[in-house]
Chain A
Amino acid sequence: MLRRVLVAAVAASSLAALAAGCGDTKDDKSGGSGGSGGSGGKTLTVFAAASLTETFTRLGKDFEGTRPGLKVRFNFGGSSTLAQQITQGAPADVFAAASGTTMKTVSDAGDAAGQPTVFAKNRLVIAVPKGDPAKVHALADLAAPKLKVVLCAEQVPCGAAAKQALAAAHLTVKPVSQEQDVKAVLTKVRLGEADAGLVYRTDAKAAAGQVEGIEFPESAKAINSYPIAALTKAPQSALAREFVQYVLSQQGRAALSAAGFESP
């Protein structure tokens, strides 16, 4: 009898824990609006493209500094993945994408509050391992048959940009791999598995010391725009608008340009 009670108690408590766990995550994502109250602690949730990781993390800290008690949470990832999560109802306040097309998915679904604003631009550079062992100097060098080149897959923004740049230069490059995101390209170059890859200038800059970034003129033909927008279903809509303004402000631009982004 005692044993049966114990079993029931254990089962009940684990169910309760499960339920509580679910509740917790939901509260987190909804930014604490659901009365997690106390000390005025609010949470702003920002979905941002992976290439913004370093810059936005800093901007988030600064933004928190101007508003005591505020917590900024980031979800960095591939822009298309993030856009899908938002249209599927993920509780986000702000979306910063690495391409106009991914932002368009969100605004077409009616999830962007107002017109998205381009806040930065990024261009491609050739990333080569430290010391440039394969002696790559220009985009045309990537067409050498023996060279191991990795690009982003065409389905992701950096791959689309690479395709555009190569087309503008009338070059046919046979990559050994089409990576799932720009960080993967960077990894392959950093480890020396690839002789060269096309990455964003900001990524090359962040990995300075491990890879070298080589600018090339054709990159002007494939410049990525980074649009940002507050979201219609934002649990913290006022804060969301303020954060967008902050990114567009002088401080925001300074941080972005320090990371290698260009002004819009």
Chain B
Amino acid sequence: MTASANRVRLDGSGRPDGPGLDARLVVRRPRFDLDLVLTAAPGEVVALLGPNGAGKSTALRALAGLTTLADGHVRVDGRDLTNLPPDERGVGMVFQEYLLFPHLSALENVAFGPRAQGTGRREARRRAAEWLEHVGLAEHASARPRALSGGQAQRVALARALAVRPGLLLLDEPLSALDAHTRLEVRAALRRHLAGFAGAAVMVTHDPLDALTLADRLVVIEGGRLVQEGVPSEVARRPRTPYVARLVGLNLFRGRADGGTVALADGNLKIDAVTSLEGDVFLAFEPSAVALYRSRPDGSPRNLWKARVAAVESRGDRFRIRLDGTGPDASGPDGPRVSADVTAAAVADLGLAEGSPVWASVKATEVRVYPA
């Protein structure tokens, strides 16, 4: 069973009958099958990361009951939700485009859940008003959704989802519809509200910053399967797939360690590191750890290889240089594909342009090696 292979638990949450979320989601899709074990302790925020089409949203919909499970189960605080329709699950969901009811005011939107759950009209409105106050929108209670800004709509959507007092809160790309500036503010507010939420929360995102700043734990899925899981700092430091490495901006390679030296799996380059390991490993380093030279540097530092500039991209005050390793006919060993971050001055000094030949090196102390 693949599920057991995917099961990686870093904490004690998700015991059957225990508090929080315990789920195994199996959904058949034309392009892939989702098979994912997902757990979250009360108060924990789990970010579900993955490339487009990895099955993140499908997983979220399955938790909400909007997509039928082919197999598996969903339990929240010991209650089995597997066969319940969405309206009986008590799961709050914030949708990507918020989906605020356009014909209802902000207050009526938030009061909708309590009303649907059978709360009296006045009590529902009172609770809705409290929630709007809580998210700082008391003065917009009577506004229609179309009159709200993106950030305000996001907060109303959050208040609406929380107003049903869910045991599990689901957020589908909660910040993706916002512009960069608003995003900053709303992210901070969302962080506060999530901290105050007592239940388990699962958030789908493809923004590493959202994931790193809002989540207690990251779950990365690709092609419907879990590929990496862990606390944000661990995932950011030690990516295990090219997707995660790109996400956190690291150069990542597989290789075989023999003491302090790692032979990269692709090509014939050997990289020295300070960590001593044996066997299959991952090797990662920051783009800023890469040094570039126009000609072979004197003193021949270790971890040196010849490369060709494939692309130069401006990144604020830095430039990101994409390097292709040159073939075995070059004087150095066959080099890897690497990203390097350099200053504008370095670009000018070295005359970097597409096609320029360069020498690249990375210090052994900057190289992280960890078991594959």
Q: Within the complex, are A and B direct neighbours (CB within 8 Å)?
A: no
